[in-house]
Amino acid sequence: MICAVACFFAACSGNQKPVDLTAPKAAAGKKYQIGTVAEKALNSSARLPGQLNPYNEVNLFPKVNGFVKQLFVDRGSIVKKGQLLATLEAPEMESQLQAANSRYLQAQETANASKEKYQRLKEAAAEPGSVSPLDLDNAVARMRSDNAIAQSELSNVQSVRTMQGYLHIYAPFDGMIVQRNVSPGALVAPGKSTDQPMLILQDISKLRLEVAIPEDYVDKVDLKQPVTFTFNAMPGAQHTAQISRSANALGSMRSEAIEIDVLNNNGSLKPGMYAEVNIPMLSGSKSLLVPNGAIVRSTEKEYVIAVRDGKAVITDIKEGLAGKDSTEVFGNLKPGDHIILKASDELKDGDAVE
């Protein structure tokens, strides 16, 4: 039995072959479908959102403290320029006017007395030695001083009357009252832009369609060509107009505001409505285009994977206009650069690519 067991183990050991675990694997780059970056002319227009704003808008505040006496308009009222909108009352202002009138009358009487005194001294001075030159000079100075005081008091009276005029609130332009925040009897005072106004007046006979042009398109917009736009609230109705003005400066959102004047003859358009605007682009402008599948989008960034010297190079981009097959990109790319067409985030920077 011992001999049989020994023979069995000998047979097993003779058939087993050693496994070589140290053999190196052949390192080779994975094959990917490669494309190139193209340079082509931009699309004829860019589709951007816009918003309607009133052509003129003003928050109406009182210039003096007072109580609302009468309101002649309400929300939705159509008003004309110079129309009386509201009147205020301030009893203390009437007292101020009476006091100012009294001071003016007193100063005027004093000035008249000084003038008469000077005239008498001047007539008496015709007789040599009857009036000293010093007395005559003093009378002239007193007359001029009292006259200046009277003129000052007259200006004070006019100032108080002007302040009384501020108790009447007039419309600065034609438009519609869109908000009323006070009622008769309310105490009002001059306010700041952050305070609640008495009334809000808007001119909606003509509106401003404001569109924010991204920084990358600012120099490519054709300001001379007409734009077309449709309103979300009125699908199917297309409008055409010229670009009226541009800000010529970038705002806080790194975009330039342009405005399109839109006539509102029938009053169907309202401030705040949103629109989709086709902005014409300059035909000579060219941009870099890559296939849509070449762009990798993550929560942190957008990029394409370029191929340089057989290595993958992750290149950050910013997307522009998107088409059916390709997308306009901005980044460290040049026309003719090789990129991976069906890229994914599995491929890392520096990986070998065939």
| CA 250 remoteness from chain centre | 10
Highest mean pLDDT among 74-78, 264-268, 311-315: 74-78
Identity (one letter) of the amino acid at 19? V
- Domain covering 91-165 assigned CATH 1.25.40 in the classification: no
- Computed over every residue of the chain, the mean pLDDT equals 83
pLDDT of residue 166: 87
> Predicted confidence band at 51 (pLDDT cuts at 50, 70, 90)?
very high
User: What is d(CA 78, CA 333) in angstroms, rounded to the nearest whole number?
Assistant: 57
Comparison of pLDDT for 349 and 207, the residue scoring more:
207
User: What is d(CA 194, CA 322) in angstroms, rounded to the nearest whole number?
Assistant: 41
DSSP H helices, the chain, are 2-15, 91-124, 133-165
Using alpha carbons, list the distances in angstroms from residue 133 to 111, 119, 130: 21, 14, 10
Contact 228, 260 (CB under 8 A): no
User: What is d(CA 167, CA 81) in angstroms, rounded to the nearest whole number?
Assistant: 17
pLDDT of 67 higher than 60:
yes
pLDDT of residue 171: 94
For the chain, give every residue range classified as CATH 1.10.287.
91-165
pLDDT of 9 higher than 70:
no
Using alpha carbons, list the distances in angstroms from residue 30 to 131, 347, 354: 122, 10, 6
**Residues facing residue 30 across a β-bridge:** 353
Can you tell me which residue has the tokens 């000079």?
137
pLDDT of 339 higher than 80:
yes
pLDDT of residue 21: 43
Q: Which of 255, 69, 45, 257 is nearest to 164 (CA)?
A: 69
- Domain covering 58-88+167-188 assigned CATH 3.40.1110.10 in the classification: no
User: What is d(CA 314, CA 348) in angstroms, rounded to the nearest whole number?
Assistant: 7
Q: Which of 48-57, 84-93, 176-185, 341-350 has the lowest mean pLDDT?
A: 341-350
Contacts of 125 (CB under 8 A, 6+ apart): 131, 136
For the chain, give every residue range classified as CATH 2.40.50.100.
58-88+167-188
Q: Which of 204, 152, 150, 142 is nearest to 173 (CA)?
A: 204
Contact 34, 340 (CB under 8 A): yes
**Residues facing residue 40 across a β-bridge:** 287
CATH label, 46-56+203-280, candidates 2.60.40.420, 1.20.1090.10, 2.40.30.170, 3.30.450.40 = 2.40.30.170
> Predicted confidence band at 127 (pLDDT cuts at 50, 70, 90)?
confident
Contacts of 124 (CB under 8 A, 6+ apart): 130, 131
> Predicted confidence band at 57 (pLDDT cuts at 50, 70, 90)?
very high
For the chain, give every residue range classified as CATH 2.40.420.20.
285-340
pLDDT of 221 higher than 50:
yes
CA atoms within 13 Å, Cβ hemisphere of 102: 6
pLDDT of 302 higher than 60:
yes
pLDDT of residue 85: 94
pLDDT of residue 254: 82
pLDDT of 290 higher than 70:
yes
User: What is d(CA 142, CA 113) in angstroms, rounded to the nearest whole number?
Assistant: 10
pLDDT of residue 148: 92
> First vs last Cα of the chain: how many Å apart?
63
Three-state secondary structure call for residue 255: strand
Contact 226, 261 (CB under 8 A): no
Per-residue pLDDT, averaged over 222-241, amounts to: 86
Specify the pTM.
Answer: 0.59
pLDDT of residue 27: 41
CATH label, 285-340, candidates 2.40.160.10, 3.30.1490.190, 3.30.70.260, 2.40.420.20 = 2.40.420.20
**Residues facing residue 58 across a β-bridge:** 201
As given in the structure block, the two tokens for residue 96 are 């101020």
Angle between helices 91-124 and 133-165 (to 10 degrees): 160
| CA 354 remoteness from chain centre | 50
pLDDT of 190 higher than 80:
yes
Q: Which of 131-135, 143-147, 212-216, 280-284 has the lowest mean pLDDT?
A: 280-284
User: What is d(CA 227, CA 292) in angstroms, rounded to the nearest whole number?
Assistant: 27
As given in the structure block, the two tokens for residue 252 are 């806080």
